[in-house]
Homo-oligomer: A and B are copies of this chain.
Amino acid sequence: MSMEEPRKPQATLELVAERAGVSRATVSRVVNGSDRVKAGAKKAVEQAIRELNYVPNRAARSLAQGRSNSIALVVPENTAKFFADPYFAKVVQGAAQYLAGTEFMLTLLLSTESDPAKTTRYLQGGNVDGALVLSHHADDQSYADLGALLPMVYGGRTMSTDQNEIYVVDIDNIAAARQATELIIDRGRSKLAMIAGPQDMGAGLDRLIGFQRAVQDAGLEPVAIEAGDFTPASGHQIMQQMIKNNIEFDGLFAASAQMGFGALQALAEAGISVPEQVSVTAVDDDSFARSSTPPLTTIAQFPERQGEIMAELLIKRIHGEQVPEWSIMDTKLVLRDSH
């Protein structure tokens, strides 16, 4: 059905102006929704735009305005797991969805290990108006200084010290872990083990703290604590090891649903029944939590919403609005059969 239509040259503001019989400035005003344009002129311009199928050139606009109308989503690549993790995927989705309703575009920035400075340079270069930073490990100090140059919003608390003006959207990981742990204790269990997260990440660290506090407050001692990397495989492997080491426990708190999922598998393989012999809870509610056997009792967070809030805050900051440095999101207890 191709009509051999001669490929029209990309319409410009100037062309639209000519056709509508007005100046470029007027066209620009119409395009940008200024109200200082007579209805008649506006109509003419709009028609010309339609006829010419005009679309503004972003580069030109950016150059003239001195801003890019796009923001970066920075993803430390060392986190190869990043994309495999439903949590991050959802955060991205939430942010992208929010931005779809704005003038901003989302640029994916994989910060390569080979050349981390590349990312920094890009961010500094005025190529984006702000940045969303995810999966922030302790060694990612690279962006810390950028905070002064560019509005940034972090997903999950950073581990930086002596920093001011760090904008973070996160849940209260300590409280979440504590609550999940208490669930187990309330079941009358007293020999608690934990599969913790990476200790170079805020979420990993805080969930460990929450667990420890809950255990301590109950007058107990943890029987085992081992750190994984949030993946199902690590949960599986750690649990196998615990079993092999003949550790006696009747309760298990996993810092992520993915690790809980893996642990549950190892438990099943060893013929240990859940929740009868071991009561299990975790943080995160994702497809792993729902599809494990038995389904996991968890403290749910809402990653899409988190992404949305991150994007929203960033845009506000870009527009010069004041926003709180800390946005602590609510969590929700999801009772299933594992505890």
Contacts and interface: CB of A to CB of B under 8 A. Distances in A.
A62 interface: yes
Interface string A36-70: 00000000000000000101111110110000101
Given A262-B291, A268-B293, A110 B97 contact: yes
Nearest to A70: B107
A110 B121 contact: no
Interface in A107-129: 107-110, 112, 118, 121-122, 124-127
Nearest to A303: B83
Contact of A265 (B58, B60, B293): B293
B58 A149 contact: no
A63 B59 contact: yes
A73 B53 CA distance: 23
Given A77-B97, A110-B97, A125 B56 contact: yes
A55 B126 CA distance: 8
B68 A1 contact: no
A112 B287 CA distance: 24
A287 B84 contact: yes
Nearest to A86: B84
A73 B73 CA distance: 14
A150 to B, nearest CB: 11
A63 B57 contact: yes
Contacts of A277: none
A96 B110 contact: yes
Interface in A56-100: 56-60, 62-63, 68, 70, 73, 77, 80, 82-84, 86, 89-90, 92-93, 96-97, 100
A149 B105 CA distance: 21
A10 interface: yes
A7 interface: yes
18 contacts: A7-B149, A10-B126, A57-B63, A57-B126, A58-B59, A59-B62, A59-B127, A73-B108, A83-B86, A83-B89, A83-B93, A84-B90, A92-B108, A106-B108, A107-B108, A236-B291, A261-B291, A265-B291
10 tightest Cβ-Cβ pairs between the two chains A and B: A55-B125, A59-B62, A83-B89, A59-B63, A83-B93, A106-B108, A58-B127, A59-B59, A96-B110, A100-B112
